Structures are given as C-alpha cells and as structure tokens.
Amino acid sequence: MKHSGIKEEDNTSTVTQFLLLGFSDLPNLQGFLFGMFSIMYVTIIIGNSFIILITRIDPTLHKPMYFFLTNFSFLEICYVSVTLPRVLYSIWTQDKTISLLACATQMCLFLLLAATDSILLAVMSYDRYVAICNPLHYPLVMNQTKCTQLAVGSWLGGMPFQLGQTCQIFSLHFCKSNKIDHFFCDIPPVIKLACGDTSVNELYIYVVAILLAAIPFILILTSYSKIIATILRLPTAQGRAKAFSTCSSHLVVVILFYVSASITYLMPKSTHSALSDKLLSLFYTIVTPIFNPMIYSLRNKEVIAALRRLLLRA
C-alpha cells in the first residue's frame, strides 16, 4: 500500500493511491467485458442523445413532460460517464490505480448525479400526476418558470448533502488496505477500508438515503397511487390501457433504480459482499440508462411520430 506523510508521534499514515480491482477476478473475460461495456456505453450515449435531439427539434414535443425527459436523458449520459470510461480504461490498460483525489471526485460526482436522478424521477411523476389528475390546471401549474425551477432544484437539491458526505468519508483514515474491490469509488467498498469507528459515517449514509431516496420514492408512489385511481375511473378501456402502459414503464425504471440503490446503501456494512455490490451497482449505473430510451421513447407514440417526421424531412 502506498503511503505518504507518516508521522512518528501518532503512527498514522495517509493513503495517496487506491487500487480499483474492478473485474480483475475474471481474467479470462477481460476482452469480453471490454467489448460488452463499450457497446453499452455507446448505446447509452446514442439512445439518450437521440431523445435530447428529437425533443429539441420537434415543436410538438415542446411540453413539460419532454422537457423533464430531456433533462433525464442528459443526466443519464453524465451518470454513466462518471464510471464506465474509467472501467474501460482499467480493462484496456490493466492499470488499476486511482489517486485519492480522483477517487473522491468520482464518488462526489456519482453521488450528486444519483441524487439528481432520484429527485428528477419524483418530479417526473409529479408532472404526470398533474397532467392526469388535474388536466385543466396543467398548463397553469406546469408553466415554463415552474418547470425550470423544478429542473434546477433536481440538479442542485442533493449537492450540499453529497458534498458533505464525500468530505466526511475522505476525512477518514485508511489503513486496512488500498484495494477497492469494486469497479468505481462507491461508498460501501471505500468505507470498508477505513480504520476505527465508522458508525457516524454509516448513520449519515442512512440519513442522506432517507432524504434523497426514500422520500422521493414515497412521493412517486403517492403520485402513482392517485394516478391509478384516476385512470380506473376513465370511461374507455383504451384510455385506461394507454395510461397504465405509461405508468408501468416509469415504475419499472423507478423500482429498478431505487431498489438496487437502497439495498446497496441501506444494508449494514457487515452484510456487504464485493459480488453483490458490483451486481447491484451495474443495475443502477448501467442497466437503467440503457432502458431509458426504450421505455420512455420507443413506446411513446408522440416520439415515434416525431421520428417519422424527422426521417421524412431528411
């Protein structure tokens, strides 16, 4: 383990470099993993960029729903770009080292974007709630100013909590090992390497998880319970089926993201295993961003119609 700044008076040292082990326990699959992750990354970039492009150039999609969808697609590109390029670099070069500062930066950006993801999903469910349950007031409630405020709030809402959490974690003393058995600098594998009592840090993780994950999730469930109650009162079966299809698509993404993230961050440190952490992290860092274009666009008739108009113009 690489140390610097050793002090004889208190026999402490400061880790200046970590080793991100990633998927090094699968030496025979490195080429396959590089190819698979490369395809996933390109798919996420192209798919979400397509959403941003088509919602910007087609006037019929200049609605609050697609404004938030554009934000969500851009967020997914940023979200996956915090982790996947580093994974691809490590597999290609077999260089597992990452500096303390780079590790802290990656963790901070990842947590900030995860918080934005959580809040924005709640905002999107609120938008659907107003549209379905209060359609007459929808243009007034979801005006341009309100939409901008909600979007900015989503991007900035988790910043003070996640900056504080990152600073708190990297103020710990690391002495057990410098090997992070994960593919990026996530909280559970990093905090495992800390010496001494980390109960305060774990308590802070729970508090932040409740504020930035549990509360938005409850708001989403509340919105959709009211949406479903309204849908059930619709007079036509076709209208009910269309609305249920939209709700189920959003809820799949919500459940996939929240359940995997909640298990990762709310489980006690002692119950974590490297394999479970990696598998769960793959779900909310890679799988969900891949599903985003398919669930929110390819099953959306307005987006399909906009795509046809774009192709006809070309």
At 53-110, the pLDDT tens digits run 988 988 888 899 889 989 999 999 999 999 999 999 999 999 999 999 999 999 999 9
The one-letter amino acid code at 160 reads P
Q: Judge whether residue 184 has pLDDT over 80.
A: yes
Domains and CATH numbers, the chain: 3-7+14-313 (1.20.1070.10)
* Residue 314: pLDDT band with limits 50, 70, 90: low
* Residue 41: pLDDT band with limits 50, 70, 90: very high
Cα(205)–Cα(203) distance, integer angstroms: 5
239 vs 196 pLDDT, higher one: 196
Q: Please say whether the beta carbons of 206 and 109 come within 8 A.
A: no
Q: Judge whether residue 269 has pLDDT over 70.
A: no
Q: Please say whether the beta carbons of 52 and 74 come within 8 A.
A: yes
* Cβ burial 183-218 (10 Å sphere, 16+ → b, else e): bbbbbbbbbbbbeeebeebbebbeebbeebbeebbe
Q: Judge whether residue 168 has pLDDT over 70.
A: yes
What does the pLDDT read at residue 297? Answer: 67
Q: Judge whether residue 7 has pLDDT over 60.
A: no
* HSE (side-chain half, CA atoms, 13 Å) at 230: 16
303 vs 34 pLDDT, higher one: 34
Q: What's the whole-number mean pLDDT along residues 147-169?
A: 94
Q: Please say whether the beta carbons of 264 and 281 come within 8 A.
A: yes
* Residue 163: pLDDT band with limits 50, 70, 90: very high
SS3 78: helix
Q: Please say whether the beta carbons of 184 and 84 come within 8 A.
A: no
* Residue 34: pLDDT band with limits 50, 70, 90: very high
Q: What's the whole-number mean pLDDT along residues 16-37?
A: 88
Residues in CB range of 176: below 8 A, 6 or more apart = 192, 193, 194, 195
What does the pLDDT read at residue 2? Answer: 42
Q: Judge whether residue 293 has pLDDT over 60.
A: yes
Cα(206)–Cα(197) distance, integer angstroms: 16
Q: Please say whether the beta carbons of 18 and 97 come within 8 A.
A: yes
The DSSP secondary structure of 268-285, one letter per residue, reads -GGG--HHHHHHHHHIII
**pTM value?**
0.87
**Nearest Cα to Cα of residue 22 among 68, 87, 105:** 87
165 vs 257 pLDDT, higher one: 165
Q: Please say whether the beta carbons of 71 and 120 come within 8 A.
A: yes
Q: What's the whole-number mean pLDDT along residues 247-271?
A: 70
Q: Judge whether residue 5 has pLDDT over 60.
A: no
What does the pLDDT read at residue 156? Answer: 95
What does the pLDDT read at residue 159? Answer: 93
Q: Judge whether residue 122 has pLDDT over 90.
A: yes
Cα(224)–Cα(215) distance, integer angstroms: 14
How much of the chain is in helix, strand and coil states, percent to nearest 5?
75, 5, 20
Q: Judge whether residue 255 has pLDDT over 70.
A: yes
The single-letter DSSP state of residue 45 is H
Percent of the chain at pLDDT > 90 equals 40
| E strands present in the chain | 3-7, 12-15, 17-20, 97-99, 179-180
Q: How many helices (H) and strands (E) does the chain have?
A: 14, 5
Q: What is the mean pLDDT of the chain?
A: 84
* HSE (side-chain half, CA atoms, 13 Å) at 206: 10
95 vs 14 pLDDT, higher one: 95
* Residue 249: pLDDT band with limits 50, 70, 90: low
